[in-house]
Structures are given as C-alpha cells and as structure tokens.
Amino acid sequence: MERLLQPRRRHCHRRENPFDGAAKVRLFSVALIRIFAAWSTSADEIGSDFTHWEMVLRFRISRILAALVAVSGFGAVGYAAANPAVAVCAVSDAIPSIHLNDGTLVASSTLEPDQARVIQHLLLDAKGRIRDVFGEPRSKPIVLFFDDSTRFGPFRLNEYGSTQFIGSRTCVLIGPKGQNVDVISHELMHAETADRIGFWAKFIELPTWFDEGLAMQVDFRPEYDIQAGVIVDSKPVRELRSARSFFASDSELLTANYAFAKNEVTLWAKRVGYLSTYAHLERIRQGETFESAIGTK
C-alpha cells in the first residue's frame, strides 16, 4: 500500500476499487455516516463563524474519524490510515459546507472572507476548461478544500488532490499544493468521467490509463507533456488497466505513465473528436465493453 501511497503526494489521481478487500469497511463507513450525520452541523450552518467552524474541524471531525476507526475495528485502522481521503469522504456529511451558485457543495478548511470567492473562481475556471475540451460538465461532486494535510487528526491527505467514490457519493479533495486550475480540472474530470460512465461500468470497464489520460486532457502541467520532437511509443501504457499497475512507486515511471496515458488519449480523442467523449462513455454505461466503445488501437 505504501508503495502506492508515496507518489500520490506528488500526483493527483483517484485509486479506488469497490471490490478490494476493504469494500466491507467502506460500506460500513457509509452506514456510520448516517449515524454521525444526525449530530453533525447542517450544510448552511457555517456562515462566517470561522471560530465555530475551526472548532468543528479540529474536534468534531477528528472525533468522528477516531470513532469510525474505533468502531470499525483493527482492519479499519490500517484501511483508513492508508486511505484517509476515503475516510474523510465518508464523513463529509459532517463537515460544514457551502453551496456555490452552480450547486457544487464545497467544504473548505480555510473559509476566510475571500476564500469562498477564490475557490469559486478556481472551480469556475476548472469547469470552463472541461467545457472547452469535452463539453459542458454535469457532475456535482462534493469538493473539499483543505490547507493542512494533518487537519484531520491522524489522517494525512494527498497534498495535491484526489477524487474518491463511495457509492454514488463523489468527493474531490483538494490539498494546499493542488489549489490551481490544473489539479482541480484534473480531479473534476475524474468526477465527470465517473458521472458519465456510471458507477458499475467505471469499476468494471474503465481502465486506469484511460481514466487518467482523460483527466490529463484538462491538466496542462508541462511535466506530463512529451516534448516536441521526441519520439516515444506510449502504447504500452494501455496494458496498465489496474490502479495497482498504473500508479508505480517509482516517481519517474509514474510521471511517464501519466504522460503516456495523456498521449494515448490525445491520439484517441483527436481521432474520434473530443466532443464525442461523453457519448463514448455513455455507450459503456449502456453495456458496451470498453474495447467495443473506445477501441484498443
């Protein structure tokens, strides 16, 4: 697990599988949310009461997470520690949040007077980028901005960003190093892909290289671009269907995987047309296999 965790702090991606050994813990977590939500603050309670909000984050969330671990037993300790973003997503109901004009639910750990406006601008820019490349996005994930990866007690979150899925709940977690349009667009694209392809098809049919390659189409960080004039064969990245195979522990290899995935999806999208991407994902949602809808060439 650690092998996979280290690079997550440098890159942003989602890495969840409902069929792994921790699925039961996750489902149990969802059940616990419902219990804890009963004593959580309501979504619009936050207002400008920063002191109250800080108190909630520092004590209530930590306490809820601690209770989650305690009640879930030993197995969940390792699981939650290894997948802290999942734990935070599971208890996101308990995190005070605000509704932006577009319906996006945003919980921020730094809700200073200007912060909501900054976040709103970043989200609008990121969604605008997705719109420009693929067409209007429709997913409305819970977006959690945090400025301290140790904010949630013993749980350390990816300092850049990650997208987590628990059932129909999608959480985009943006860390202090990810508060830029590239990372936010990347993570929102994961949410959009999941929305379009559907919950089951995402896990059964969607290869990690394609998911990451789609997200990289709206992520313009230059380190993931293959330099002009350099000839590479990016096709082998198509073998990296699973998260385990894609998210290599070696940082250089991982960067290459992202770059190759980006290149392969760019070649595909230019061939079929970027604006047909949603339709292709919908075909998989309707039952086509990935190979049939997207092709393997």
Contacts to Zn ion by CB under 5 A: 13, 212, 215
Q: Minimum Å distance from CB 87 to Zn ion? A: 20
Residue 121 has a CB neighbour count (10 Å cut-off) of 11
Q: Which two tokens stand for residue 272?
A: 């079929």
Cα–Cα distance for residue pair 182/148, rounded to 1 Å: 20
Q: Output the CA angle 25-27-30, nearest 5 degrees.
A: 110
Q: Residue 230 — φ and ψ, nearest 5°?
A: -90, 125
The gap from C-alpha 66 to its chain's centroid, in whole angstroms, comes to 23
Question: Which CB sits closer to Zn ion, 65 or 181?
Answer: 181
Question: Which CB sits closer to Zn ion, 182 or 212?
Answer: 212
Question: Which CB sits closer to Zn ion, 93 or 212?
Answer: 212
DSSP state of 223: G
Query: Minimal CB distance to Zn ion: which residue?
Result: 13
Widest Cα–Cα separation across the chain: 59
Q: Minimum Å distance from CB 111 to Zn ion? A: 26
Q: Minimum Å distance from CB 180 to Zn ion? A: 14
Question: Which CB sits closer to Zn ion, 13 or 127?
Answer: 13
Q: Minimum Å distance from CB 211 to Zn ion? A: 7
Question: Which CB sits closer to Zn ion, 13 or 262?
Answer: 13
The gap from C-alpha 238 to its chain's centroid, in whole angstroms, comes to 21
Q: Minimum Å distance from CB 13 to Zn ion? A: 3
